[in-house]
Amino acid sequence: MTAASAACNNERAGRRDVSRAPTLRAECYSVIELTGLATSLNEHGQVVVRTDGDRRAYIRNLDGSRIDLVPPAGVTSYVPADMNDRGDVVARTLVPEDRAILFSGGSARDLGIDRAYDFTINNRGDIAGTREFGSIMFLYRDGVMRDLGTGEEVGVRLNDNGDILIPRLVDKEPRAVLIKVDGSTELVPEMGLLNTAGQVVFSRRVGSSFSFRGFLFEDGTTVDLGLLPGTDSTAPTAMNNRGDVVGHAATRAFFWRDGTMQEIPGGGGDIFALPQDVNEHARVVGKRGDRAFVWEPGSTSIELPLPAEFDATRFVDAFLINDAGVILGSSAADGDFNVDQRGLLWVPDRCGVTPDAGPPDDTGGDAGPTEPPSEGGPMVPPEEPTE
């Protein structure tokens, strides 16, 4: 697919054209150290923060206020899994073991999904994931759970349109199936990341070598992302809804758009640069060495500031960024981010930029969300996906 055809596809898919954010400067960010590990960030700047020894959680609003996530009766502990832009949070219980619960509109309820393992929620309110310890995939929509077949413990991808990407063996080879909300299906070469335009980015081994290359799939066409000079592999790590892709090639980081790959400066050699998210403004966050960075095309890569009196021996990363430029990350006492993890929140509010400071209008932390759209009909796993 050429750059011109990719641009045409972007226009056809209705992806919005976003203006560029102000030039990046470290002094534009306020940095907040959270009370526990934070796992989710939405477009309103809300984050889900674990508390009580990682056995419960609360939502922190951008203004610092909080909404405690009180579980249903009989549930004493849980782990939050995901949050959407309405402030709905889905979680997996610890006691009792492995049930899916939903926090929405100031209340919580058990979804009746036993042995829930890993799941996500979109802005429609659809919930998709795996149960039976990853072996069975499911979709929960409009109060009804539908099994989507056996999985390969690689997760399920769900976009805000209601499309879902699931792994599937085809002629004993691992492939994926994109099931669209209208019930149509499309065979995808590999399991990967899914955006709202229905694009899938993935990596797979090339030939008989041990090198992996990144590819973008859209409308039946697969495009090789290419290579950085001097490298023989690429690994995509994130994609936005415009089709911009970020990832790494060995220890170097890359940004790809419309057939062109460029290097994100600062990695290489003994310094491992790992981009982990990209927003609709093409602003990229990740970790480089033991610190977090932010970058956008046309600018230098900057190291994100640290809180006052921060222990300089701690490791820092950034893994989520919303379209307002609010960044979520964490710090830990070890490089594997397993010991004494704490959330970090960077807010670009010091250079004339004012991110959305309130919770979603339809919830306000208390009111119930609007009902998800009912179009699309039942979703059934296909026996024979269309080529």
pLDDT category of residue 153 using cuts at 50, 70 and 90: low
Residue 65 pLDDT: 97
pLDDT band with cut points at 50, 70 and 90 for residue 247 = very high
Beta strands 99-104; 89-95: pairing state = antiparallel
Instruction: Give per-residue pLDDT as tens, 233-246.
Output: 999 999 999 999 99
Rounded to whole angstroms, the Cα distance separating 40 from 297 reads: 25
Residue 386 pLDDT > 80, yes or no? no
The dihedral of CA 263, 242, 6, 121: what is its sign? Answer: positive
pLDDT for 174: 87
pLDDT greater than 80 at residue 52: no
Q: Show me where the domains of the chain are located.
A: 28-347
- pLDDT per residue as tens digits for the range 90-132: 999 999 999 999 999 999 999 999 888 889 999 999 999 998 8
Band of pLDDT at residue 151, cut at 50, 70 and 90: low
The pTM for the full model equals 0.87
Task: Give the pLDDT band (50/70/90) at residue 367.
Answer: very low
**Mean pLDDT on 252-266:** 95
pLDDT of 19 reads 40
Tell me what pLDDT residue 112 has: 93
Which CATH number is 28-347 given?
A: 2.140.10.30
**Average pLDDT score over the chain:** 86
pLDDT, greater one: 197 or 9: 197
pLDDT score of 190 more than 70: yes
